[in-house]
Structure 1
Amino acid sequence: MSADRIETAAEAMEAEALPHAHVVHTDPDAKSTEDEPLPKSVTAKPQKAKSPAEWAYQRMVLYIKNFEEQLDDQHEIAMAFAGDASGVMRIEGMGYFDPDIITFYGTDPTGARTQLVQHVSQLSVMLRALPKGVAKEAPRRIGFRLVDDLDAQITVRSEPQKGS
């Protein structure tokens, strides 16, 4: 806000309700999650009304989607367990359990099914690009499905309930 503009009470309340983010890169043209406009599915419900799990889940969805948008057709998203020697998991699903649990579903490099259940206060994930499976025709993208799911949740919440 410039010094010569007076903010209305409504504008101040809206600015307070919206999440704030900031990023700086060595490459000024780098595409960053923090610089992208937030989808309606993230802003429809006030941040303060969300559980820590829901809020962490929504932001992870945005980071995953942004990371996948920068991958070529030969790579898929995976995550390494930051601060842990457990290895790498190809991300195939993600969820949350209120009030404070985030869950990642996937497979490790050997194809074994894996699941990470993590408390939001311990959330520390390194996103990685792994070569896609040899037998797969196209890389599988979870980020776009996650964003579609967020949008579908908004549609369901905004529709009138039967009997109302």
Structure 2
Amino acid sequence: MSDEEIKTTAEAVEAAAMPRRHEVHADPDVEPCAVPDSVAQTPVTQKSPAEWAYERLILYIQNFEQQLDNEHEVAMGFTGGDAGVLRIEGMGFFDPDIVTFYGTDSNGIKTQLVQHVSQLNVMLRALPRQVEEGAPTRIGFRLAQDLAKS
């Protein structure tokens, strides 16, 4: 046995509590975004389900946006109903178990989705930008900046 294989009980418990991420894509050039230190340093066991879901959603949104061209912005499709699509303009959580999304629907109506983490089922979609001038809105970047501060 090498030294790398030997772990104390404390090291094993700590490793089990740290977030892990694994993805495989058909396109070998697609690289999943790394888990930032601000997320990885706090063990999962010390986060509420809402905070943990919020942090991971930020990573997924940011990664999704990095794959978009300048003509598209991220939106969220609702599953299991006729609610449509929400252009994501904000996101938050309320401990211990609520995640909320802010934005506008396909008709431009201000919309907020409040969801329990046990019911969380999000489909990210690319929608054409609404504004013809300027750069597309990238909420994932702003969310990630906020995550790095906390």
Provide Cα deviations, 1:109-159, integer angstroms capped at 9, x if missing partner.
221101100000000010000000134421010001001101111xxxxxx
1:117 is aligned, of 89, 93, 114, to: 114
Counterpart residue identity of residue 21, structure 1: R
Q: Does 1:65 align with 2:66?
A: no
1:80-120 CA distance string (max 9 Å, x none): 00222110010000000000000000001221101100000
1:1-164 mapped onto 2 (5 Å cutoff):
4=2, 5-9=4-8, 11-32=11-32, 36-153=33-150
Q: State, as a whole percentage, how many aligned pairs show the same letter.
A: 60
Conservation of the 8 A alpha-carbon contact between 2:75 and 2:126: yes
- Taking the aligned partners of 1:116 and 1:99, their CA distance within structure 2 comes to 17
Quick one: which amino acid aligns to residue 26 of structure 2?
A: T
* Cα distance in 2 between the residues matched to 1:136 and 1:113: 22
Aligned residue identity for 2:63: N
Gaps of 5+ in 2: none
Aligned letter for 1:108? Answer: D
Aligned residue pairs, count: 148
What CA distance in whole angstroms lies between the structure 2 residues aligned with 1:20 and 1:44? 12
SS class of match (2:99) = strand
The 4+ residue runs of structure 1 with deviation greater than 4 A are: none
Aligned-partner Cα distance in 1 for 2:132–2:15? 48
Q: What is the TM-score normalised by the length of structure 2?
A: 0.90
CA–CA distance in structure 2, aligned partners of residues 6 and 75 of structure 1: 46
Q: Residues 75 and 64 (structure 1 numbering): CA distance in 2 closer, same or farther, change over 3 Å?
A: same
Conserved 8 A contact 2:91-2:101: yes
For 1:28, what is the secondary structure of its paired residue?
A: coil
Unpaired segments ≥5 residues, structure 1: 154-164
1:8 Cα offset (Å): 2.9
User: Could you tell me which residue of structure 2 aligns to residue 161 of structure 1?
Assistant: none
